[in-house]
Amino acid sequence: MATSIVVISGGLGTPSTSRMLGDQLGRAAAEALAADGVEAEVSVIELRDMAVDIATTMVAGYAPPRLAEIIEQVGAADALVAVSPVFTASVSGLFKSFLDVLDPTALDGKPVLLAATGGSARHSMVIDYVMRPIFSYLRATAVPTGVFAAPEDWGGDTGSGQLAARVARAGAELARAVQGTSVSAARPDPMESLPFEQLLANIEPTG
């Protein structure tokens, strides 16, 4: 049975840079899994198509059938890629409202790759200061690397190359998390191969 990766895109535009980034991240994770001999299926949920149903659920307290299927799909996924545009220094209201209608236990222990898009690189801290606390509260397991894409990341060799490198790294971390491998295991300890005397020299006095 193939590993299920669900991309949740909170983008509102057409085309949406959040959707574009989500597609890249889902593909990177699937390729990393394929390199380890694991088959993966990537599906995308565009929240803008669910906006009315999400609002109805917030007011009525129950999800219409179409949204109920989406909620079930998210809960059954092996891993998630969650991408939101940045509005007023936070995630979009639509993105947050969707998370609010999920069962509080739906994301328990689920590997999640966090990503965001915005008009300026100054908004990149939204991933660590807004998204990580939300997903931590939902008890999801967010991989270390979050990916933010600003307008300059979509054009030019330098910007697009840097974005591709971040996407590949984050996708590989999600793939390892899905397989139950510690994402930190692939990172060499910078002091691991140092001589003993040099290790001692790097120890700071405590008082």
pLDDT digits (tens, 9 = 90+) for 69-126: 999 999 999 999 999 999 988 999 999 999 999 999 999 999 999 999 998 888 899 9
**Which amino acid, 23?**
D
What's the domain range around 122? 3-201
Is 206 inside a domain boundary?
no
Positive/negative CA dihedral, 141, 27, 84, 145: positive
**Predicted TM-score (pTM) of this structure:** 0.85
Q: Which residues of 62-74 are buried (b: 16+ CB within 10 A; e: fewer)?
A: ebeeebeebbeeb
> What gap in Å lies between CA 80 and CA 131, rounded to an integer?
13
Using DSSP's 3-state secondary structure scheme, residue 38 falls into coil
Residue 207 lies in a domain: no
Residue 119, domain CATH: 3.40.50.360
Q: Is residue 194 part of a domain?
A: yes
For residue 61, tell me if it sits in a domain.
yes
Q: What's the structural domain count of the chain?
A: 1
The whole-angstrom separation of Cα 167 and Cα 163 is 6
Nearest to 166 by CA among 106, 121, 129: 121
